[in-house]
Amino acid sequence: MADFNPAFDTMIRNEGGYINHCVSGDKGGQTYAGISRKFHPYWSGWAILDKNDMNNAKLTEMVYTFYQQAFWQKMKGDEIHNQQIATSIFDFSVNSGIKTAVKLAQVVVSTTPDGILGQQTLCHLNHAEEELFVNKYALAKVARYREIVKKDKSQEKFLLGWLNRALAVVL
C-alpha cells in the first residue's frame, strides 16, 4: 500500500513549500502551500493567515491534514499498491483536481474515464507496471496542459512550470 507521507513530501515541494502568494493570472488566486482560497475558501488555515500569523505552528499540521483528507483519502491513495503511481496521481490531483487526475489515470490504464476511482480502476492501477504508467501519465499531463494553453493563452506563463512538474518523474 502506498504511504501518504512521501506523496505529501513530493507534492509540497512541487507546490513551492509553505508560502503565501497570489500570482497574476493564476486561476486559483491566493494560495498557501498550494491550497487555493478560491477553490477551498473554508479551509481553517485562512483564519490564521488573515491574522498574518505566518509563524503559527498549527499551519503545517493544518496543511498536512487538509491534503490527507481532501485529496489522498478521496483518491483512495492507501488502496493503491505502488507508491510512485499513487504519488503521481496525488500530485496531479492537487494541481488539477481529483476528477481530472483520475480520468487521466483511467485513460492510461485503459478503463472507462469517468473520474471516479472505484474498484475496477483500483484493480487496473494495482496491476499496472510502474515505469510504463508513470511515463504514460506524464505524457497525458503534458497533453492536458497543452490543451489548457491552447484554450486560454493567459495561462501560457504557467506552462513551463507545469511541464517541469509533469516530467520530473520521467527517467
Q: Which domains does the chain have, with CATH numbers?
A: 4-167 (1.20.141.10)
Predicted local confidence at residue 154, as pLDDT: 85
pLDDT per residue over 7-62, tens digit each?
Answer: 999 999 988 776 665 666 666 677 889 899 889 999 999 999 999 888 898 999 99
Q: Read off the pTM.
A: 0.89
For the stretch 138-147, contacts whose Cβ atoms lie closer than 8 Å and that sit 24 or more positions apart, written own/partner, are 138/88, 138/166, 138/167, 138/169, 138/170, 140/104, 140/107, 140/108, 141/92, 141/96, 141/104, 141/166, 142/166, 142/167, 144/96, 144/100, 144/104
